[in-house]
């Protein structure tokens, strides 16, 4: 969805917890873009930066995403948060989605805990689908002459969507690679309320793509970690930090879903 990057950031702030985490193209180009959907296994290193309305950085996320040819996905995130008025925080979060086993495991090394649920039908369908990079959402268009035309050596399709926000206007731009099943190589969520002074609220940049089957260690479940619900993980994190525990609405919803989707 448009603005999903900013919405993720807003959710992190709202929950204040570690858990919270077009233009016509001719038929020849269309056929070539679809034919590019061929590379299913790769590892990507990426950087995401979230900013305040004044443009100052508030959170930086460095991550590794690994896709196996069977559709499984592993994500390792290092999240560094600097919210005004609060001490700086760093979190490490891992996620393993095993498509053949229809299982999703979220791992929190600091709490030596993990949360395991059955993969939803929608999630399994998305991972197991060859995507059409020329498809667009409502209010989204394709830039027929994107700059750059390639990122990290991969040809890209650029999509643009402009949407009203509050009393202003936001433009979401994304560059996806047909050769990587429409994987997002670059994105920016920009406040363009004042077109003479646009403010980038969220930006994503993939800095490296390693083709081929990923390192198997990305998909290993750590030994000795306790299985816990999202609420219990938050409690454990608060206990280890010596902080009072407050149950946020977001974690409360996740905990209900956890109990409903236990494998």
Contacts of 77 (CB under 8 A, 6+ apart): 21, 61, 62, 63, 91, 92, 93, 94, 95
Contacts of 86 (CB under 8 A, 6+ apart): none
The pLDDT tens digits for 134-171 are 899 888 999 987 677 899 999 999 999 988 887 789 99
Residue whose token pair is 């993980």: 233
For residue 101, tell me if it sits in a domain. yes
CATH number at residue 238: 2.50.20
What is the chain's percent helix, strand, coil content, to nearest 5? 25, 40, 35
Q: Across the strands, what pairs with 165?
A: 168
Phi, psi of 57, deg, nearest 5: -75, 135
pLDDT of 41 strictly over 70: yes
For residue 142, tell me if it sits in a domain. no
pLDDT bracket for residue 230 (50, 70, 90): very high
Indicate the SS3 state at residue 153: coil
The pLDDT tens digits for 69-109 are 999 999 999 988 877 777 788 889 999 999 999 999 999 99
Contact 209/42 with Cβ under 8 angstroms? yes
In this prediction, residue 58 carries a pLDDT of 87
In this prediction, residue 39 carries a pLDDT of 58
In this prediction, residue 81 carries a pLDDT of 83
Contact 189/5 with Cβ under 8 angstroms? yes
In this prediction, residue 148 carries a pLDDT of 77
Contact 155/179 with Cβ under 8 angstroms? yes
Q: Which domain holds residue 86?
A: 4-132+200-260
In this prediction, residue 116 carries a pLDDT of 97
Angle between helices 249-260 and 230-241 (to 10 degrees): 130
For residue 54, tell me if it sits in a domain. yes
For residue 172, tell me if it sits in a domain. no
For residue 80, tell me if it sits in a domain. yes
Residue whose token pair is 């930066």: 49
Select the more confidently predicted residue: 24 or 17.
17
For residue 122, tell me if it sits in a domain. yes
Select the more confidently predicted residue: 86 or 125.
125
Residue whose token pair is 């917890």: 17
Number of domains in the chain: 1
In this prediction, residue 28 carries a pLDDT of 27
Select the more confidently predicted residue: 223 or 39.
223
Tokens of 4: 């999903």
* Cis ω before 148 (30° cut-off from 0): yes
CB-side neighbour CA atoms (13 Å) of 31: 3
pLDDT of 35 strictly over 50: no
Cα(first)–Cα(last) distance of the chain, in Å?
Answer: 28
Count of CB atoms situated within 10 Å of the CB of 201: 23
Angle between helices 249-260 and 4-15 (to 10 degrees): 100
In this prediction, residue 26 carries a pLDDT of 30
Listed in order, strand segments (DSSP E) in the chain are 42-51, 57-67, 73-81, 89-98, 103-108, 113-118, 140-143, 150-151, 154-155, 157-165, 168-177, 183-191, 199-211, 226-227
For residue 180, tell me if it sits in a domain. no
Pairwise CA distance, residues 133 & 37, whole Å: 9
- Read off the pLDDT of each residue in 45-63 and give the average, rounded to a whole number: 90
For residue 239, tell me if it sits in a domain. yes
């Amino acid at each position: 969805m448009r603005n999903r990057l900013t919405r993720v950031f807003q959710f992190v702030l709202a929950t204040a917890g570690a858990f919270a985490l077009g233009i016509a193209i001719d038929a020849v180009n269309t056929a070539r873009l679809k034919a590019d959907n061929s590379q299913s296994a790769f590892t990507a290193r990426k950087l995401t930066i979230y900013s305040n309305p004044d443009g100052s950085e508030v959170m930086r996320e460095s991550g590794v995403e690994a896709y196996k040819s069977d559709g499984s996905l592993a994500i390792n995130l290092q999240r560094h948060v600097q919210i005004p008025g609060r001490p700086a925080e760093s979190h490490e979060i891992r996620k393993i989605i095993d498509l053949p086993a229809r299982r999703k495991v979220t791992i929190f090394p600091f709490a030596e805990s993990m949360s395991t649920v059955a993969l939803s039908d929608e999630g399994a369908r998305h991972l197991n689908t060859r995507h059409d990079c020329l498809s667009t959402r409502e209010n989204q268009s394709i830039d027929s002459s994107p700059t750059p035309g390639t990122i990290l050596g991969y040809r890209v399709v650029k999509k643009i969507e402009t949407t009203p926000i509050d009393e202003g206007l936001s433009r979401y731009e994304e560059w996806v690679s047909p050769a990587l099943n429409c994987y997002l190589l670059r994105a920016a969520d920009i406040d363009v309320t004042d077109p003479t002074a646009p403010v980038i609220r969220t930006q994503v940049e993939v800095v490296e793509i390693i083709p081929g089957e990923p390192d198997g260690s990305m998909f290993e479940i750590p030994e000795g970690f306790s299985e816990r619900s999202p609420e219990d993980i938050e409690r454990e994190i608060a206990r280890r930090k010596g902080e009072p525990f407050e149950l946020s609405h977001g974690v409360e919803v996740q905990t209900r879903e956890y109990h409903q989707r236990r494998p």
